[in-house]
Amino acid sequence: MRDGSGFARRVTLQNLQVFAPLLRASAPHSDDQNTDSRSREDVDLDQANTSPADPALAAAEALFVGKPLEVKKRYRRATITRSGSGRRAETGVVEPPARTLPAPDLRVLVAEIPKAKNRWKQANFDLATFEGFFGAKLGTLSTIQLQHVGSDGTLSAVEITPSVEVKSRNFRFELQAASGLRYPSDGRPIAVFVQQPSGVFLYRLVMPNDVDHASLVSFLSAKWRGRADRMRRVLTTVQELQEYWPASPLWRVLPKA
Amino acid sequence: MRRLCCPGRLIVHDLRYQLTPTQRAGAAVQIDARLLLLPFASQRAESLIDILIREFNSDQWSRFYGAIGFAKVSGNFPDLLDAMRAFVQRSGTELSITFGADVFGGDTRGSDYEAVKAVLEALERADNARVYLYHERGRTFHPKLYLFSNEAAQKALLILGSSNWSEGGFVENIEANVMLLFELTNPEHHRAYNDLVSHFTTYWREEEEENA
């Protein structure tokens, strides 16, 4: 797929409804003469498709799975600040971003978890992820230290879990946070792992009925480059994921940069 | 070859931007061009809606490509939809139009559901008509391109500028567009035309459609 392609979908009368969250619901024959300027009063055209998505919007956005075209920024960008009146003012001065992120460069793995014949508590990963992200070594007895973060930021006990090599060179280890949970019928659970310098991987298991699930679906839809029929796994950073998931409880427990 | 109403030819150097320095040193490329400034042209019955209806009804074009950021209900003039329907009913024609499906803050959306639906209904029975929606996370789909072409006749008409698919964009707003008449026998025109069409087929239509 070429960079910049894959973001157009054919719409017909039969499938129009699935795209409805992306379109404005408007009454027919409404008097919207010359509404272009009025409807754009509070709209920043440079900020399209950036807000956190509710579940319905996330589902519609997930239909557009393309390969973004990265554009190199060759000029200093304007800093846009909002004055007390709410009007935007461009200062023309580039200022470094405030350092509010927890350790922005920490590596993060965002992974959909398959059902795996109801053994989904044992998450599967390929060799590249097993070695490259979790730091295990093929052929050696590996354990991985995990620590789950609750929705309110509370930390569970550290889980020391052995990894198991299974068929087709996949590697599996258990997620205690999935214990006792039934695999959902309305979507895939998503696990987010943060690689800490200490060697303990913080993780958060997000189920489809969790308010944060839509944000992660949006992230995966935007970043996944693989086949549409595969479990989506994306390697990223705290900084990049924070743009989609600003309210993650993970950020509360990570040390600030 | 039909000429655009134009007081003189506009020498456009940008069509040569992909040429080598040696090629660029050759003769300047000229193209028939006309500015379409609204609502001023609307007063002379030469608004963009007048032009679109006329060109769809004209029998000189066999293909239409559109890439428009915002589709509003007000842009679905019945006469325009009728002209589009008549266009696709003619043998040998093809119509492909891509509207933006951008989401801004809150409930603000770039295009109207009913606008897209009305276009689909107008083209419902046409196998040679395709409508697409474009949505990309973090990027606004904002072009306003209307391209008529007839490759067999070696010509194309490109209308591009600020006019969205709305009554304001077609008639009432202050809008600035330019109309360019491509003579595809000219290698530079042909190169620019092919470049434009390749953007439609590569980026603004569903890829599976091209591979079918």
Go through B136-145 and write b for each residue having 16 or more CB atoms within 10 A of its CB, e for each that does not: bbebbbbbbb
Helix (H), strand (E) at residue A241: helix A238-244
Contact A19 B133 (CB under 8 A): yes
Q: Which amino acid, one-letter code, is at B27? A: A
Q: How far is A29 from chain B (nearest CA, A)?
A: 7
Q: What's the ipTM?
A: 0.82
Strands (E), chain A: 8-10, 80-82, 88-90, 107-112, 122-126, 143-148, 159-162, 164-165, 170-174, 190-195, 200-206, 233-237
Contact A36 B72 (CB under 8 A): yes
Phi–psi pair at B94, nearest 5 degrees: -145, 135
Cβ–Cβ contact B135 with A under 8 A: yes
Q: What is the pLDDT of residue A185?
A: 84
Say if residue B5's pLDDT is above 60: no
Does the model's pTM come out above 0.95? no
Asked if the C-beta of B140 comes within 8 angstroms of chain A's C-beta atoms, the answer is yes
Closest chain A C-alpha to B199 CA, distance in angstroms: 10
At position B82, the amino acid (one-letter code) is D
- B166 near A CB under 8 A: yes
Q: How many CB atoms lie within 10 A of CB A24?
A: 22
Evaluate whether A76 touches A153 at the Cβ level (below 8 Å).
Answer: no
Q: Per DSSP, what are the bridge partners of residue B14? A: none
Residue type, A214: A
pLDDT at residue B189 in the model: 92
pLDDT, position A3: 83
Which segments in chain A show pLDDT lower than 70?
Answer: 26-44, 47, 51-53, 73-102, 118, 138-142, 164-169, 256-257
pLDDT classification of B10: cutoffs 50, 70, 90: very low
In tens, the pLDDT along B147-170 reads: 999 999 999 999 999 999 999 999
CA angle A138, A228, B143 (to 5 degrees): 130
Contacts of A26 in chain B (CB under 8 A): 72-73, 112-115
- Residues in B 26-55 with any Cβ partner in A closer than 8 A: none
Which residues in chain B have their CB less than 8 angstroms from residue A8's CB?
A: 98, 132-134, 203-207
Which of A16, A42, A48 comes nearest B116 by C-beta?
A: A16
Binary contact (B117, A42; C-beta < 8 A): no
Contact A61 B115 (CB under 8 A): no
Whether chain A has a CB inside 8 Å of the CB on B205: the answer is yes
